[in-house]
Amino acid sequence: MDRILSADGTPIAYRRQGEGPPLVLVGGALSVAATDAALAALLAPRFTVITYDRRGRGASGDTGRCTVAREIEDLAAVVGAAGSGTSVFGMSSGGALALEAAAAGLPVELLAVYEPPYTPGASGLRFKARCTDRLQRRLAAGDRGGAVELFLSMTGVAEETAARMRRTPVWAELEARAHTLAYDDALLGDGEIPAGRFAAVTARTLVICGGFSSAPARAATRTLAEALPRGRHRTLTGQLREVAPQVLAPVLTEFFARDVYAYGRAS
């Protein structure tokens, strides 16, 4: 993997593959560049795809004092390395990061996100507050495994499935990244969609959800699309939070094409 220094000197590791207009993929909670390997391979015939290890994960560095601003600087550094005309796709909380970066002035013309996990509404905000409190307590106690289990339960993973995961080699990798769950939690704020801040997003933005995702998740993506000045919404029939790369890739390929006709069909 190549490396570039973020604004605070933290090394950020990234991988580049394919040929064509540059497209940066921003992973969600606990993911690394390799997590997006299947999607990147499907996009590579049409784009130069850049995947990266977010701060504190994989081969990237970490100061231990991460803020949303630092993660925005990391993404800006990767976009700068990708070159002019770069588009961005963000998965889950990586979508929230991409939106925050765009609102802060990241120079992108096309942006797509898949189910940023905002939880608007009174019950959603209470749920987010409880999750934040539990996560902070577990991390403060050094309970990395408990933090990972909390995240898995929040994303719908059954308790018995999590127990099986604990007995696999991947569990140690997840625990090593557990502290970064606080970074993703910070990206989501109190769970409300920051419509005022996102009014500054000038990029054409495609907000995508799965047709089999929960009703609150689908509703949140529609609210998000409406809050963006140039937002459009699309539902992928039969898909869940864990979207199939072979279903998502053609949608992204169509959307990130540079001509207006392609954009109109995708949105």
Give residue-wise pLDDT tens across range 24-34: 999 999 999 99
Whether the pLDDT of residue 243 is over 80: the answer is: yes
pLDDT score at 157: 82
Provide the 10 A C-beta neighbour count for residue 42.
Answer: 18
pLDDT score at 58: 95
Average pLDDT over residues 40-58: 97
Which DSSP string do the residues of 179-205 spell out, in sequence order? GGHHHHHHHTTTSS--HHHHTT--SEE
Which residues, in sequence order, are CB contacts of 239 under 8 Å at separation 6+?
210, 211, 212, 213, 247, 248
Residue corresponding to tokens 């390395």 = 81
pLDDT score at 258: 60
Phi, psi dihedral angles at 200 (to 5 degrees): -85, -5
Share of the chain above pLDDT 90, in %: 90
- Give the pLDDT confidence of 92-107 residue by residue, as tens digits: 999 999 999 999 999 9
Instruction: Give me the amino acid identity at 132.
Output: T
pLDDT score at 198: 98
Tokens of 76: 């800006």
pLDDT score at 265: 41
pLDDT score at 259: 42
Confidence of residue 264 (pLDDT cuts 50, 70, 90): very low
pLDDT score at 262: 41
